[in-house]
Amino acid sequence: HILFLYSNLKCDSVTQPTKVQTATAGETVTIDCTYKTNAFPTLYWYQYKANQAPKYMLKRYAGSSDEDEDFKERFNANLQTSSTSVPLTIQDVRVSDSAVYYCALQPTVTETHSTLIQKHNFKNYTQM
């Protein structure tokens, strides 16, 4: 007898262990994000300020990267596949950087019955 078990469950997740982070103007701040995935990782960082839509900041994936023009100068993230992390570094932090920062693992949008659904895990974020 042979038994085949097939599971289509995805175990992808991201974790931001630090919930609130404080800094003084001019400092360099690092916000941690770790991930779990069985696929090649593509990770995103978003910035959310009250009463505004979340802003796409940057994307990191194997051997490549992309940044929004507004975040090229002082914001950086390195995809570290050996430690399964993609920490966000903000140099010369400013009061205007105060926001909630979200790390996301692709896919962040899935299609179901012709309706796009944005997936969020509001338990994992860092507020600065």
Q: Is 0.85 surpassed by the pTM of this model?
A: no
Instruction: Provide the residue type at 88 as one letter.
Output: L
Look at phi and psi of residue 51 and say left if phi exceeds 0, alpha if psi is from -120 to 50, else beta: left
Dihedral of the alpha carbons of 10, 119, 20, 61, in degrees to the nearest 10: 60
Report the C-alpha gap between 106 and 32 in whole angstroms: 17
The answer to whether 54 and 48 have CB atoms below 8 angstroms apart is yes
CATH homologous superfamily of 13-127: Immunoglobulins (2.60.40.10)
pLDDT in tens, the chain (128 residues): 555 544 445 678 888 988 888 889 999 999 999 999 888 899 999 999 999 999 999 999 988 899 999 999 999 999 998 899 999 999 999 999 999 999 999 876 544 434 434 444 545 566 66
